């Protein structure tokens, strides 16, 4: 999945640079909090199509929340156009994924030093949006640079957290330093998704066991409650079947141009793993090379790699972890309703996948470019999806705090 023809690189291999953002917000109805801080991973950062770009970051749900709440100075890492993708080509920085003139998802070299895209790296306080693509729950607690991250080499930890500037303070400590009145916290996705994107779900190796996740979250939330006065809005973990990365590619042999069965739905792809339940989005690259297709049907006869599929056992393990994480978050929020509020993003994205949100779908962009809520990488919401997430948070904020901040339209 690291090669240049793949649709999505591993989330852990991130090469991104940051700047700043003044939200230019319109005042909302209700008292505006003086400080709002968002913590999390790529979903919080505004990551789309395998990279970051300023216009996407400005449409991230935290930036939208800041505008609706009337916060005039919401600082976040901005990356000037054309943005920076999550991988390099021949050791050089690349831009995010895009559709070329013939409708193929691709990328290309940035063609300039990444440092030229920086605009706010010398901000003397932490950013309000501290979301770091690739961050895990452990990273939220402990990481302050790329070397201390759970998956070392993620340059965004250096760029977003700037640990040297803040005495090696990580994401949680920088959030505390800002003393927010409102905090949104959406972390834990990569503790499961890291295994999904690699096609390997092994507890304690590629995914975080429930007990370890709950212990880390207890430490994090208890510290935040003790050392800030913030009301914390906790987002839960979406099911893997709500994202196109998992649901787009059928298990049967199909024509990649039309997505129609080559013969019938009983003729399955050749796979290295047995009992496959899901073929993952990056497999489209191998299918385009006629891999996974029997020689009798014009294919190479080479099975799809195990990293391109999830078995029934792997999918069940991921489902069980998601349910366990979400049960923990629900119970934790219920234990302190004056300070913690659950934001059920899993329900939101499940409704989207079921076609229950007018005008939007969870289909892969090539199958529904006009209505999809997801970007080209099949994992991260596009700007339409970010708007729905922001409104889901706003509903929770208004209900918990008795505010009347307007919806994002």
Q: Distance (Å, rounded) from C-alpha 210 to C-alpha 323?
A: 10
> Is 169 found in the same domain as 47?
yes
Kindly list the distances between the CA atom of residue 183 and the CA atoms of 287, 328, 341, in Å, as whole numbers in the listed order.
Answer: 43, 19, 10
| Cβ atoms 250, 265 nearer than 8 A | yes
Q: Distance (Å, rounded) from C-alpha 42 to C-alpha 130?
A: 10
Question: In this structure, how many other beta carbons lie within 10 angstroms of the beta carbon of residue 272?
Answer: 15
Instruction: For 25-54, write each residue's pLDDT tens digit.
Output: 344 567 888 899 999 999 999 999 999 999
pLDDT at 28: 53
The single residue listed with the structure tokens 């230019």 is 24
Which is it for strands 36-40 and 51-52: parallel, antiparallel or unpaired? unpaired
pLDDT at 91: 77
Q: Distance (Å, rounded) from C-alpha 148 to C-alpha 134?
A: 13
The single residue listed with the structure tokens 């906790």 is 234
Q: Distance (Å, rounded) from C-alpha 352 to C-alpha 325?
A: 21
Helix (H) or strand (E) holding 17: none
Residue 26 burial (CB < 10 Å; 0-12/13-18/19+)? exposed
> Is 218 found in the same domain as 151?
yes
> Is 393 found in the same domain as 345?
yes
Q: Distance (Å, rounded) from C-alpha 7 to C-alpha 51?
A: 12
> Is 155 found in the same domain as 264?
no
> Is 220 found in the same domain as 289?
no
| Cβ atoms 78, 19 nearer than 8 A | yes
- The DSSP output letter for 306 is G
What region, left, alpha or beta, does residue 76 occupy, with left being phi > 0 and alpha being psi -120 to 50 degrees?
A: beta
Residues pairing with 260 in the sheet: 255
> Is 200 found in the same domain as 55?
yes
DSSP string, 75-109: ------TT-EESSEETTEEBPPPEE-TTS-EE--B
Strand ranges inside 290-394, DSSP E: 309-311, 340-343
Residues in the chain, pLDDT under 70:
1-29
Specify if 73 maps to a domain: yes
Which is it for strands 231-235 and 36-40: parallel, antiparallel or unpaired? unpaired
> Is 265 found in the same domain as 331?
no
Helix axes 383-401, 345-353, angle to 10 degrees: 140
Last residue of a domain, one of 310, 330, 362: 310
DSSP string, 137-205: HHHHHH--STTTSSSTT-THIIIII-GGGGTT--HHHHHHHH--SEEEEE--HHHHHHHHHTT---BTT
pLDDT at 6: 36
Where in the sequence is the domain holding 177, given as residue range(s)?
36-77+125-245+316-401
The SS3 of residue 352 is: helix
Specify if 325 maps to a domain: yes
> Is 303 found in the same domain as 236?
no
> Is 366 found in the same domain as 338?
yes
The contacts of residue 218 (CB under 8 Å, 6+ apart) are: 332
| Backbone phi, psi, residue 219, to 5° | -60, -45
Q: Distance (Å, rounded) from C-alpha 375 to C-alpha 272?
A: 29
Last residue of a domain, one of 255, 279, 310: 310
> Is 303 found in the same domain as 231?
no
Instruction: Characterize 313-349 residue by residue with b for buried, 16 or more Cβ atoms within 10 angstroms of its Cβ, and e for exposed.
Output: ebbebbeebbebbbebbeebbeeeeebbbbbbbbebb
Helix (H) or strand (E) holding 366: none
- The structural domain count of the chain equals 2
pLDDT at 257: 80
> Is 159 found in the same domain as 72?
yes
Instruction: For 339-350, write each residue's pLDDT tens digit.
Output: 999 999 999 999
pLDDT at 101: 85
């Amino acid at each position: 999945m690291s090669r240049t023809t793949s649709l999505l690189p591993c989330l852990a291999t991130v090469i991104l640079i940051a700047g700043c953002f003044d939200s230019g917000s319109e005042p909302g109805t209700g008292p505006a909090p003086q400080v709002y801080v968002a913590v999390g991973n790529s979903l919080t950062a505004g990551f789309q199509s395998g990279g970051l770009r300023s216009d996407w970051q400005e449409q991230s749900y935290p930036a939208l929340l800041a505008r609706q709440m009337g916060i005039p100075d919401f600082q976040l890492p901005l990356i000037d156009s054309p943005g920076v993708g999550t991988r390099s080509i021949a050791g050089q920085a690349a831009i995010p994924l895009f559709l070329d003139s013939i409708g193929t998802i691709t990328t290309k070299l940035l063609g300039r030093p990444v440092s030229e895209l920086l605009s706010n790296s010398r901000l003397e306080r932490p950013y309000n949006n501290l979301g770091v693509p690739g961050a895990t729950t452990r990273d939220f607690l402990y990481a302050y640079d790329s070397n201390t991250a759970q998956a070392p080499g993620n340059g965004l930890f250096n760029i977003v957290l700037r640990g040297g500037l803040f005495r090696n303070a990580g994401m949680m400590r920088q959030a505390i330093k800002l003393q927010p009145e409102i905090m949104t916290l959406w972390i834990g996705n990569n503790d499961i998704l890291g295994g999904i994107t690699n096609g390997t779900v092994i507890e304690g190796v590629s995914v975080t066991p429930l007990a370890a996740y709950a212990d880390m979250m207890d430490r994090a939330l208890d510290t935040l409650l003790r050392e800030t006065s913030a009301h914390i809005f906790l987002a839960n973990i979406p099911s893997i079947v709500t994202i196109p990365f998992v649901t787009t590619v059928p298990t049967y042999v199909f024509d990649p141009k039309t997505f129609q069965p080559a013969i019938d739905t009983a003729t399955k792809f050749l796979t290295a793993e047995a009992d496959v339940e899901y073929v993952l989005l990056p497999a489209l690259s191998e299918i385009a090379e006629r891999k996974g297709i029997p020689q009798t049907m014009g294919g190479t006869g080479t099975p799809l790699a195990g990293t391109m599929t999830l078995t029934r056992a792997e999918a069940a393990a991921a489902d069980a972890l998601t349910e366990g994480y979400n049960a923990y978050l629900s119970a934790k929020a219920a234990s302190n309703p004056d300070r913690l509020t659950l934001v059920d993003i899993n329900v939101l994205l499940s409704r989207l996948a079921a076609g229950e949100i007018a005008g939007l779908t969870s289909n892969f962009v090539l199958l529904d470019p006009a209505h999809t809520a997801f970007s080209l990488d099949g994992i991260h919401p596009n700007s339409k999806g970010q708007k729905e997430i922001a409104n889901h948070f706003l509903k929770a904020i208004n209900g918990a705090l008795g505010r009347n901040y307007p919806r994002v339209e």
